[in-house]
Amino acid sequence: YFWHITDFHYDPLYTAQGDTRRHCRRADERGSSGHHRALGRLGDYSCDSSLELIQSALRYMRTRHSENVEFVLWTGDIVAAQYSENEENRYQAIRNITELLRMTFSSHFVFPVLGHTDPAPSETLTNLWSHWLPMEALTTLKSGGYYTIEQSHSKLRIVALNTNLFSVSEENSAPARRQWEWLDEVLEKATANSEMFGEGMDVGVPRCWNGNPALESTAMVDPRQVGQTATASQVAAGFKRHKTVEFGTP
């Protein structure tokens, strides 16, 4: 098994005294929000995630299948899109979540993947995640936001793509072409070595309404062996094959 975590959309400015019309933030410095309903300590369905919601979800995850989980796949959209446009503020929020994951899964590797609300590949991100990734992966993460991890003992290969390069504005760019070329090389090597790799995933995000824990679903996905005719475009298309487990907060 492995855990797949996605779309935290962490908002450091969330407050239970906030206004839903202002993304659950205080309306003014005096804290007089005028919101039309009570907000939950763990979040509200109109707003992005509070830190307490994320902490609660991770605590629960640590209690489920802990002895069988091999690694954690963390697929981006870490910080709320409406949060500060200041780059350092966003990096600090990512640092906070990175440290939380490091403490929660202290005996596991966490493999991060960039989402569309996350910063572009940079040395700062590379340094933040250097304790999880080998040097070869850090090199391509820094230059293009993608990397691969080879687990030789299980013949499993993890491929992390920067899907921001698949957007209309980027799809014909030089970085996008380099990623496709790199992926073809990775798949050729995986095929030659009869390795396994992870494919398309379907996952639910834990949320709470007015502070009451709500059950959501998350997927734990089986890898599929690379075939002789596998190509980068086929992997991008992928297919979904998963089983669902209940996901709640204590």
Q: What pLDDT digit, counting tens, does each position of 6-56 carry?
A: 999 999 999 988 888 888 887 664 555 455 678 888 888 889 999 999 999
Burial class (CB in 10 A: 0-12, 13-18, 19+), 114: buried
Distance CA(98)–CA(128), nearest Å, equals: 7
| CB-CB neighbours of 97 under 10 Å | 22
Which range, of 44-48, 142-146, 243-247, averages the lowest pLDDT? 243-247
Contact (CB, 8 A) for 23 and 92: no
pTM: 0.75
Q: Among 1.20.140, 3.40.50, 3.60.21, 3.30.70, what is the CATH number of 3-247?
A: 3.60.21
pLDDT of residue 242: 36
User: How confident is the model at residue 34, as a pLDDT?
Assistant: 54
Residue 157, pLDDT > 50, answer: yes
Strand partners, 151: 156
State the average pLDDT over residues 47-74: 89
What distance in Å separates the CA atoms of residue 59 and residue 51, rounded to the nearest whole number?
A: 12
Q: What is the mean pLDDT of residues 215-244?
A: 36
